[in-house]
Amino acid sequence: MACQSGAMTMRGADSVSIRKMEVEDIGPVLIVEHNAFDVPWSEQAFHNELTNNHFATYFVAEYLNQIIGYCGVWVIIDEAHVTNLAVLSRYRGYKVGEGLLRHVMAFAKMRGARSMSLEVRVGNQIAQNLYRKLGFSDGGIRKNYYTNNSEDALVMWVRL
């Protein structure tokens, strides 16, 4: 259950906290990345995002001092783009992804973004349902977007 403070209850008094990702977090984030995606980003890709891309900001979700999810966003002038969102499979269904995305949406709005976009696999109905719940709507299709199986991507947009 997401709270405005960036914490949510998972089990009892334990909570998930969301904070900005640091270079030191790349190792644990790669565990999440490999758990979530067939074609994971490399350590170098995350390092470049954190150190060289001035438009990029990444956040991690922690539970019991372990990184269990992350979300990245680019904010360029008045538009934001979610680069990726992932949660360890054993923590899915606890609204960790929703909490991360809500946090990223608030961050982007605070940075001046008026709209946000993302791509999602056309076959990933669970993710699409989350995005629609948070106000995203269908914007178009990117044909053969995913390199591992040529699946199309649904582009989704929301006004912030």
Estimate to the nearest angstrom the gap between the alpha carbon of 2 and the chain centroid: 15
Measured CA to CA in angstroms, residue 30 lies from 36, 43, 127 at distances of 10, 7, 20
131 is catalytic: yes
Whole-angstrom distance, CA of residue 6 vs CA of residue 102: 9
Residue 93 sits at φ, ψ, to 5 deg, of: 95, 0
In terms of Cβ atoms closer than 10 Å to its own Cβ (0-12, 13-18, 19+), residue 103 is: buried
For each of the chain's 160 residues, which pLDDT tens digit applies? 333 344 444 554 469 999 999 999 999 999 999 999 988 999 999 999 999 999 999 999 999 999 999 999 999 999 999 999 999 999 999 999 999 999 999 999 999 999 999 999 999 999 999 999 999 999 999 998 888 888 899 999 999 9
What's the confidence (pLDDT) of residue 14?
Answer: 65
Q: Domain 8-113, CATH 1.20.1530.20 — does that match?
A: no
- Which of the residues 79, 119, 145, 146 is marked catalytic? 119
39 by Cβ neighbours in 10 Å (0-12 / 13-18 / 19+) ranks as exposed
pTM of the model: 0.89
State the maximum Cα–Cα separation within the chain, in Å, rounded to a whole number. 45
Among residues 131, 145, 146, 151, which one is catalytic?
131
Q: Is 62 a catalytic residue?
A: no
The region that residue 93 occupies, defined by phi over 0 for left and psi between -120 and 50 for alpha, beta otherwise, is left
> pLDDT at position 13, please?
46
Tell me the C-alpha to C-alpha distance, in Å, between residue 50 and each of 4, 22, 24, 81, 86.
25, 7, 10, 15, 17
3-class DSSP state for residue 15? strand
Pairwise CA distance, residues 157 & 51, whole Å:
27
